[in-house]
Each structure stands twice: as structure tokens, then as C-alpha cells.
Chain A
Amino acid sequence: MTPRILSPLVLGLLLIFLIGPFFIIIAASLSAGDTLAFPPQGLSLRWVFKVFTIDSFRDSFAMSMLLAVGGTLAALVLGIPAAYALSRYKLPGAETIRTIVSLPIIVPGIIVGLALLRYLVVPFGFNITLALFFAHTALVLPYAVRVVSASLNNLRSDIEEAAVLLGSSRAGAFFRVVMPNIRGGILAAFILGFVTSFNQVPVSLFLSGPGVRTLPIDMLGYMETTYDPSIAALSALLAFLSIGIVFLAERFLGFSRYV
């Protein structure tokens, strides 16, 4: 086979491998039967409706949303000034700072989770929700710094000096002429961070306790006890939510420019 035929073939197989399970899940979620199965036994939407009646999913969904939104916002509050400092000033040890900021995505989540549990939660009785919040903030921070840095690097720094010479303070120049021009990058960082946090499993696994669970952890737990198609229905709903967000972001922001 020539490479010309080979590469579309490999690409096709890869796509089937990546997207195939997604269609299986959708099919399974539309099953009328009582157990998770493929092909589905009959067609119905009963499991899709069932999802909304399970209390623990509602609570863990709220927790996941809280962590994803709160953690990402916190990461941006820390990350935007960091990205600004890294891109505008010649800092001693800038490379080291960049590496440290990236560590949470390099170190396996399971280690981060274990470390937080063993050295923060267990010895100090640290509030689990707070530990989860800090963990998610740290996990999202690398994305916040990288994506915001990318848009800062595309922005001329002399516009800040121009603003200062027209009477603005340094801080004022940041809010008046820098922020509006990196808005797209900040929003992209937010979406990327949100999705990262929302899908986080390994770290959250260690930091779950009675009444404190994120949605993916709750789903794992649910599957261990109840093997019905509602889990497939919930998975499909979440997938469509993600697709919707990314689609809107691409449509209105040109998301792919930043990631």
C-alpha cells in the first residue's frame, strides 16, 4: 500500500477508535432494557429521564460545577498576572517558574491526589471541599498561564506605554488596553480549564469523602452498585454538553487559535 492510501486508512481507524465508543454509549443510553448493554434492548428515553431523578448525581454535578467554575476562576486570577509578568518582564528564573507552573499537568494526577490526601487532609483534617478546590485550581493553572501567555505574546507591549503617555496609570493601562485585547484568550483559557476540571478523575478520587464527590467519581461509584443504562445516558448528556461548549467557543471566539 502506498502512503497515500495508508494515511487516510490509519486516520479512519483512529477516528473509529476515538469516536466509536461515543456512539456505543449513545446507543446504550437509549435502551429500554434494565441493564447496560450493547446493542440496546429496544428504544426508549426512560434512562435519560431517570438521570435527572437521581439525587446523588444532582449533588455531585453541583460540586463538579462549583469546582470547575470556581477553580478555573481562581486559576485565572492567579494565572493572568503570572502570564503578564512572564511575558512583559525579564524575570530571573522565568524558565523555572514556567516549569513549576506546568508541573500539575506533568505529574500524574494520582500522585497529586495521594500527596494532597496524605499531607494535607489526613494530618491537618483539612476540609475536603477546600482541598478539592485547591487541587482543581492547581490543575487548571497551567492552562490559564499558557493560553493567556500566548495571547499576551501576540499583543504589542508598547500600547501600554502609549496609554500611559495619554494619562493612564500603569494599572489603568492594563485594564483599559491589555485586558480587552486578551479577552478571547482568557475565555479560551476558561473553557479549557472548565473542561479539564470537570473531567478530572485521579486527583478527585483521593479527595472524595462522605457527601463530597465530583460527578465522574459519583458515576464510578454508581456503576459499581447499579449496572443500569442511566450511567450511559448521563455520559451521553455530558458529551453533548462538552461538544456544545466547544462548538459555541469555536463559532464565536475561534477557540482553535488559542489552544
Chain B
Amino acid sequence: MSDTYLQLDKLTLAYGDTVAVKDLDLSIKKGELVALLGPSGCGKTTTMRSIAGLLNPASGRITLDGADITRVSANKRNVGLVFQSYALFPHLTVYENVAFGLRLKGVSGQDLDAKVSASIKSVGLASFASRKPGELSGGQQQRVALARSMVMEPKVLLLDEPLSNLDARLRLEMRAELQRVQKETGVTMIFVTHDQIEALALADRIVVMLNGGIEQIGTPEEIYNKPVSAFVADFVGFENVFALENGKLATSNSLVELSAPVPQAVKGLAWRPRMVILGSGPFQGTVRGTSFAGNVREYLLDTPLGPIKAEVDAGEPSHAIGSTLSFDLPLGAAAPLSRYR
């Protein structure tokens, strides 16, 4: 990629003897909004901290805007970070929190006031400028943290779980706020999250991480529709995941023939509950559980293939627990996985 802005090369990060991230390669373009997505312990936060300079890599290289910043200290990188806990300075007012970095840069007088005031105003907190962080709600504190980072015009803005501490309504507001900031300033943003829905909703590109490595990189559509591994498939809602052995579906106790051959490279197949056809097909299953979820009804089936989750429109006739029905896993709908583990 020629227009790479931030580049991680064979980055290995460790805490003492524990390797958290191994040989990570990642290229991010200017102005992109990238999500690092994964379960806790996957190395996403560690990766973010190393970009900020709060953690020195054991090996590898970080390049930002054409310069090698691997050994540049955190206070000289001009990388912003909005902490999960916001990390506002409790003894300073909102105004002084936002002015903190600019004052250190030697900005003063009217220049300072203009920048700080504009920044506070842009996050809608103009009337709160003289309050202390303790007097603000969580959502307001986060906007102060955002303004405090953005006023420095950082090259990259990092956000640690930006939406996880907010309730549903504020989450929506904050999402819009982040999109506004990205649109208005064109800043490159990387945010860390364990919530695939947030990642899908907000990011231009998603980096799914697992066990200190990258599992898949793609647009939200690619991640959602074309997961490449069993882990990603399960993570984005393909709850029926099977390995393939010699072109056959590997279940817990047997190999099941497929209705048509699949390419050698395909190591597994995955279906969303939505894709399972109930009422007809070559397989038989017993309903073990069912639940009503508004517009759909969910079923858990005991089958020779193992447990299968299915989902049908609530308007369809329902099946009682204990009843036996036939079902199909249509090959055409399945997501082909290139990795299964």
C-alpha cells in the first residue's frame, strides 16, 4: 500500500516473559477509522499502548507519517489517547484539562483561549468549562477527554473501549460524535473494542485479533459476511461452525458427506442460525429448547451433527420441545472458512 500512514512491522510486545503480541503486521491509511476487535487478552489494548508509546516493543518497528517512531518517547509522538476511564485531571477544570497539552507546547494568551474554547464548544460543553471533572457525567467526561486529545491535533487518535462505559443512548451519541470528529478533522482513528457490534457500526476497517495475532482484516461487510476462520465466524454470529475433513463435515462422532464437493482450500463451513432451514432436508434433529425473540423464534436442536442453532420468523408454525424435525444446512449459504482451529 503506497498511502500507508501508520505501519506496524513484525511487532512483538511482551510484559516480562509473557508475550502479548507476536510478529504483528498492520498498515493503516491516513484518515481511516480502524477497530481492533477481539476478546480480552487478545493483545488489542497492548497493541494500542505500543502505538501510543506507553509500551516499548520487544522487537519490530512502528512507522508513522514516514518516520520511524519505535524509540520515540510517548510525550513526543503526538498521538492522542482517550482512556477507557477518561483519565481526566481531577484537580483541573474542564478548561484547564483541555488547555493542559497546549500550555506544555508553549501556546498562550488569545491563541490558547481560542483553541481551547473552540475545542470545548465542539464537544458541546461550552457551559461546563469551569466545572471540575467530578461534577460531570460519564458521557461528558468522555467528551472532555476527546476534546483534550483532539485540541493537540494528533496524528493518530487512539480510543480505548470508547463506548463500553456508556448506556445505550449515550453510546449512539458518542458514535455520532466520533464520526463527526473523523469527518471534520480527517484524523486517523484506531479504537479498541471487544464488542463486534460497535466495531461493525463504526469502523471503516476491522482488525480481528486473537491470542496476540491478527485473525482477519477487512471491511465490516467482509468480516460480517465472509469470516475466514472459525473464531471470526463464531464472533460475528455464525453459531453453527464445522471443520471439514477430506471434504466431509466433521461432527463430534462421525464424518458427514456433503451434497456437493467443496474446494480443497476450504477447511470449515459456518452457518448463521438464520441460514438453517427447518422442516425439510436430509438431517433429523430433536428440539431441545426454544425461545421467542420478538420477530424471530430461536431453536436449539439436538442432532447427530451436534447441537444446532436455528432461527425462523416468528410467524412460522412453532415446534414444541421434544418434537423431531428434519432440517437442512444449505451449502450455498455457508461461509467457507480457510482456517479451522
Contact = CB atoms under 8 A, between A and B. Distances in A.
Chain B contact-residue range equals 20 to 34
B91 A162 contact: no
A159 B87 CA distance: 5
A165 interface: yes
A222 to B, nearest CB: 47
Interface stretch (B98-106, B195-203, B286-294): B98-106
Contact of A168 (B52, B53, B87, B104): B104
B326 interface: no
B52 A163 contact: no
Interface string A140-178: 000000000000000110110111111111001000110
A166 B87 contact: no
A208 interface: no
A159 B88 contact: yes
B85 interface: yes
Interface in B39-61: 52-54
A181 interface: yes
B231 to A, nearest CB: 30
A3 interface: no
A258 B54 CA distance: 31
A166 B85 contact: no
A178 to B, nearest CB: 10
A130 B324 CA distance: 92
B281 interface: no
Interface string A207-232: 00000000000000000000000000
Chain A contact-residue range equals 10 to 19
Interface in B114-158: 145, 148-149, 152
A168 B104 CA distance: 7
Contact of A164 (B75, B88, B148): B75
B35 interface: no
B101 A166 contact: yes
Contact of B89 (A163, A167, A169, A172): A163
Interface stretch (B22-30, B76-84, B258-266): B76-84
Which of A155, A165, A167, A169 has most B Cβ within 10 Å? A165
Contacts of B148: 162, 166
B85 A156 contact: yes
A259 B104 CA distance: 35
Contacts of B105: 167
A-B CB proximity, top 6 nearest: A166-B101, A162-B87, A158-B87, A167-B104, A180-B91, A159-B87
10 contacts: A156-B87, A159-B87, A159-B88, A161-B54, A165-B52, A165-B77, A165-B79, A166-B101, A168-B104, A172-B104
Interface of B: 52-54, 74-77, 79-81, 83, 85, 87-91, 100-101, 104-105, 145, 148-149, 152
